[in-house]
Structure 1
């Protein structure tokens, strides 16, 4: 039985040696590189505020890439540096760099975490996953389809880390009944991480890069439904293509798979699934979660009809679950606040890049190259895929999306939606290494896979995905 804490630890430890001296060296190198890059060359047309912001951007990128300090701590450092280097200049308002703490996106993401916590505490997530797997039957191709469906759908509203941990823990007892030489075991585990990563593309709350993109686009940002129209078709196309590829690469040498072990799985917490008798959850709590979840999602999807802001709808599960006692104080403390802080840091960094003029300066450099926007967007998309394979995709989005938005406006002389959404969605396609995403690390920690097993899926998704995404969004923006 897999312990998801083991997966997270492995994910962290694979990134580098957890040594204090080593961290100090990485911090110092990041600082020196940022200082040299921002202040040594003579940048024509870049003012003092732009240089300061360039320093903060390079410094943050170095810290995120080297993991010298925790990713969320970089967000605090970004805001502090912005206040000291930009906000204290006479005539500047330092409070502007704190405004992302009150961003509507923060409450939107908080609602997603709240709903995920309520589903987990009432064990509805396990019930849904088991129900789907029992419905599809015991043929290998049907099991993979059902597992991809439930993982993909859950990841649209629940973090891909929690979804992957849940599904892997449910599947692990079933994998134990298969023949050790059955290639399908690897295919099924890879399908979990693939569906968890790509499923997050589907909604604004599915993964942090989506929220960062919406925050940067401001008034031009697509609605909740609008985002799904842009993101779901390419995401579905990619998971269907990868499903066939995995079944072809890892065919089962057993015609039927025993689903019996799933009957004993009936409880989950933050660490693992246990096969034991646990206290039952009152039926009214389950009903309240189902009803609240359904109404919330329905209101999000029908926003153009009732005109209630998506963020206002987000308060519904926050208030109901806490008011009814479905979630207690300890449940709220256990939410992924570090992810929210990381998003806030990205929004603050984007604000500084824009207000300092750094975005216009960088966009002008690209404009001088006379490259068309439809060629520049794939370059940025592949760059975010490359970076996200070695660092947090949220951090990679924080670095690149403000620049992408500026380049789209200056070079394309048009709305930045196509470029920003394409690059944001591409950040979810990095899955070529065990350290690329937490779902990869969780699956890798199960011991069922080797590092090289991720290569094929990661290369295909990383190469094909950005082109599929760009093609669909360009089609929608041109003809609809």
Structure 2
């Protein structure tokens, strides 16, 4: 525990409260919620206590400050912890566990590596593509852990340092980049989806993919070019693929029942997520709309998880001991962030943030978005992506009206940028995992990450401004 930041969180919160209540037009409740926000933001960024414990602070503090009626204060404070986005993550992570348990991820990776052949640059590209595709459906930490054994076995066949660091750093970066591509791919995306629903807005699974996938493609290709063409070229380097991979590939030609079940459930769930919005739009004026509209993304995710716990009958893909591996603490992070955002809205703090940001009126939207993305990318180098998102999204929601920017535009850019911590080994768990292999010095990750960060800062604002309006009209 950090002995300095532990007390500084509540002390800084008290200081903020004391300063804000001196302002005549500033509501005392808004000042109290601002103090709680500062306290949580500092603890989330410095981690003197576990992130999950910080996420419980709204449950502890909000019932005591008079924000909600006394009889329902605890219930109102706790309700966001059962938000549907919590179950969206729960079901999605269970689906990822099934893919991992049945080794479908390895089959897919071996297929791409067979395509890559022995060319070192293509092998790095195949690993990055495998990592990105996996992390669209499995969290980035699990993706990196699944890909590392394959990478290490390939690295053992050559002593070329450029290949070693390219493949390891490439896997970590691709895991973070790929997660941006779907709403279930990473925790900030799921939090963002739940936050929008709390505010009466929504962006569908398919709509998000239409926005995010071009950005993912640009970052992934740009990252590969930056590393294997510019930074660490490997011209003429040939890689010897481990012989056991050929035998393993031959043995996977016929899938067992558990693998088939997982593949079917995954395909159906993905199709439902992607096609749900277009189908509902077609059925809008029919009786089927009222019947099917409650079947949202969270319902699809939980139905998929239940199916994997039931089928095949007698020997289901997942047992309850497998579900125990779900990072339950992340569910508290979602709940804590949503509870805080509700308090910011109910207390009027969002309006006060808007008043404070009124000086930003008149600044071109693309400049504002670039500044926001730059700020969020910088924060994500020091704090986890979900902590960055849960801290920044409620603040920027309040400021968006003063900036005269569509809140979905600024929040979409924010949530995408929160997954772009590429420079520091501690910025993301994937970075930490590959750095722990001790195959490259920290300066290599700093240089590689700087280039990818710069690409993200240049790519996200124009992509959001150009693609999102088209996506939201579909």
User: Structure 2 length normalisation: TM-score?
Assistant: 0.89
Q: 1:84 aligns with which of 60, 64, 87?
A: 64
| Alignment partners' CA distance in 1, 2:69 and 2:277 | 42
How well do the aligned residues superpose, as a CA RMSD in angstroms?
Answer: 2.2
Q: 2:9 aligns with which of 22, 25, 30?
A: 30
Per-residue deviation, 1:44: 4.5
Per-residue deviation, 1:265: 9.9
Tell me: CA distance 1:31–1:100, structure 2 relative to 1, closer, same or farther (3 Å): same
Per-residue deviation, 1:90: 5.1
Q: 2:138 aligns with which of 158, 165, 174?
A: 158
Tell me: CA distance 1:332–1:36, structure 2 relative to 1, closer, same or farther (3 Å): same
Q: Secondary structure at the match of 2:65?
A: helix
The equivalent residue for 1:128 is 108
Q: Secondary structure at the match of 1:452?
A: helix
- The Cα offsets for residues 331-370 of structure 1, whole Å up to 9 and x where unpaired, read as 1111111112111111111111111111110111111343
The equivalent residue for 1:250 is 232
| Alignment partners' CA distance in 1, 2:204 and 2:56 | 29
Q: 2:441 aligns with which of 442, 450, 469?
A: 450
User: Structure 1 length normalisation: TM-score?
Assistant: 0.87
Per-residue deviation, 1:384: 1.5
CA contact (8 A) 1:136 1:143 kept: yes
| Alignment partners' CA distance in 2, 1:404 and 1:284 | 48
- The Cα offsets for residues 140-184 of structure 1, whole Å up to 9 and x where unpaired, read as 1211221111111111110000101111211101101102x4412
| Alignment partners' CA distance in 2, 1:227 and 1:31 | 37
Per-residue deviation, 1:231: 0.9
Per-residue deviation, 1:123: 1.5
Per-residue deviation, 1:82: 1.6
Tell me: CA distance 1:445–1:459, structure 2 relative to 1, closer, same or farther (3 Å): same
Instruction: Give unpaired runs (5+ residues) of structure 1.
Output: 1-19, 267-280
The equivalent residue for 1:220 is 201
- Worse overlay, 422-431 or 316-325: 316-325
Task: Tell me how many residue pairs correspond in the alignment.
Answer: 444
Q: How does 1:54-203 map to 2 (within 5 A)?
A: 54-87=34-67, 93-179=73-159, 181-203=160-182
| Alignment partners' CA distance in 2, 1:216 and 1:265 | 47
CA contact (8 A) 1:408 1:415 kept: yes
Is 1:399 the equivalent of 2:391? yes
Instruction: Give unpaired runs (5+ residues) of structure 2.
Output: 249-253, 281-294
Is 1:236 the equivalent of 2:227? no
Per-residue deviation, 1:371: 4.8
Per-residue deviation, 1:437: 0.2
CA contact (8 A) 2:98 2:308 kept: yes
CA contact (8 A) 1:443 1:449 kept: no
CA contact (8 A) 2:360 2:403 kept: no
| Alignment partners' CA distance in 1, 2:246 and 2:59 | 48
Q: 1:346 aligns with which of 329, 337, 359?
A: 337
Per-residue deviation, 1:282: 8.3
Q: How does 1:330-369 map to 2 (within 5 A)?
A: 330-369=321-360
| Alignment partners' CA distance in 2, 1:263 and 1:242 | 27
Q: Secondary structure at the match of 2:180?
A: helix
Tell me: CA distance 1:350–1:25, structure 2 relative to 1, closer, same or farther (3 Å): same
Per-residue deviation, 1:81: 1.1
